[in-house]
């Protein structure tokens, strides 16, 4: 009898730990400049600088390889920041020296709002392609320089590795899918409140408004005034207020082009363990052009 009770207790503990095991990562989703400096010699580490070639050549983090953001997100027709073909992405990933065992740290600029999200859009794309251990440098290259961390002028040529994609197809969705989920899934508008409320729009977006039933969680709330990520506790309060605590609920995030919304999707999945978060790749730029798509106000 005692043995049976003991076995039951062990099984309960294992069951409770399984979700934590599933969420285990080889690297934290957000890393600091101090952490990166201490780990630069880790043989599994691949630091990917997403800035333009001329910026990279002017100076970069020692050992970083340069893969410009435009290699990861392309213009497709009139739409901006769309997924390249899977084979093309696989070539980019393998060419950067990344494989399934790599610990990837993404580095970009943070001076301008759109630039802050180069890192998260690429992180989400790597997750889509089946790369499990991806992190973002908090504050990016901007913070690295601000702290007078070491810089290099040596152009690094990555040792290419064969990469076979294991595509997580549900991470990106199209307009038809979004329309089918209006009133069913939690649709997350990550734009600034003035855009969500229909008071403003970007020049290339056809009209003001939002997807019907969408809730608002602006990406600007992710950061401190210095451009660093807020604490996990602060981010948790913001996330739970917008989407609730149910980690299994279906969430579809959008912005204007499918880039900045990855700021919250990456945090929701990789930091907090929400299991069903999707990015609407065409986002509001595409959605607002359809007169039949359900909108408000």
Tens digit of pLDDT for each residue in 261-275?
A: 999 999 999 999 999
Confidence of residue 70 (pLDDT cuts 50, 70, 90): very high
Domain with CATH 3.40.250.10 in the chain: 30-146, 169-296
Average pLDDT over residues 163-178: 96
Beta strands in 14-85 (DSSP E): 30-31, 45-49, 65-66, 74-76, 79-82
Q: What is the CA radius of gyration of the chain?
A: 20
3-state per-residue secondary structure call for 80-130: EEECCCHHHHHHHHHHCCCCCCCEEEEECCCCCHHHHCHHHHHHHHHHHCC
Cβ neighbour number for residue 214 with a 10 Å cutoff: 23
- Neighbour count for residue 237 (Cβ, 10 Å): 11
169 three-class SS: helix
Rounded Cα distance, 181 and 188, in Å: 12
**Partners of residue 79 on adjacent β-strands:** 76
In angstroms, the CA 277 to CA 120 distance is: 14
So what's the pLDDT on residue 22? 34
- Residue 203 neighbours by CB distance under 10 Å: 4
CA 192 to chain centre: 18
Dump pLDDT digits (tens) for 9-25: 433 333 333 333 334 56
pTM given for the model: 0.90
Q: How far from 48 is each of 5, 98, 110, 116, 290, CA to CA, in Å? A: 51, 10, 15, 15, 37
Q: Answer yes or no: is pLDDT of 2 > 60.
A: no
What percent of the chain is modeled with pLDDT above 90?
88
**Cα separation, 290 vs 294, whole angstroms:** 9
Cis peptide, bond prior to residue 272, ω within 30 of zero: no
Whether CATH 3.40.250.10 fits 169-296: yes
Q: What is the pLDDT of residue 113?
A: 81
What does the pLDDT read at residue 92? 98
Task: Report residue 203 CA to chain centroid gap.
Answer: 25
State the chain's mean pLDDT as an integer.
92
CATH number of 30-146: 3.40.250.10
């Amino acid at each position: 009898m005692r043995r049976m009770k003991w076995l039951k207790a062990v099984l309960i503990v294992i069951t409770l730990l399984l979700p934590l095991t599933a969420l285990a990562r080889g690297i934290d989703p957000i890393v600091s400049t101090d952490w990166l400096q201490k780990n630069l010699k880790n043989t599994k580490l691949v630091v990917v600088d997403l800035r333009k070639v001329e910026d990279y050549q002017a100076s970069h983090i020692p050992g970083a390889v340069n893969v410009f953001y435009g290699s990861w997100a392309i213009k497709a027709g009139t739409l901006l920041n769309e997924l390249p073909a899977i084979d093309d992405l696989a070539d980019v990933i393998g060419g950067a020296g990344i494989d399934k065992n790599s610990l990837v740290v993404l580095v970009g600029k943070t001076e301008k709002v759109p630039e802050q999200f180069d890192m998260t859009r690429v992180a989400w794309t790597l997750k889509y392609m089946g790369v499990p251990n991806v992190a973002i440098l908090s504050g990016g290259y901007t913070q690295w320089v601000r702290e007078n961390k070491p810089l290099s002028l040596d152009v690094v040529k990555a040792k290419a590795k064969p990469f076979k994609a294991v595509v997580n197809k549900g991470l990106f969705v199209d307009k038809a899918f979004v329309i089918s989920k209006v009133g069913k899934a939690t649709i997350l508008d990550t734009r600034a409140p003035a855009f969500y409320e229909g008071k403003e729009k970007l020049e290339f977006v056809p009209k003001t408004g939002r997807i019907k039933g969408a809730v608002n969680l602006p990406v600007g709330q992710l950061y401190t005034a210095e451009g660093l990520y807020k604490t996990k506790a602060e981010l948790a309060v913001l996330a739970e207020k917008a989407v609730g605590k149910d980690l299994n609920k279906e969430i579809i995030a959008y912005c204007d082009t499918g880039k900045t919304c990855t700021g919250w999707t990456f945090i929701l999945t990789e930091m907090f363990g929400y299991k069903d978060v999707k990015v609407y790749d065409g986002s509001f730029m595409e959605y607002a052009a359809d007169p039949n798509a359900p909108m408000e106000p």
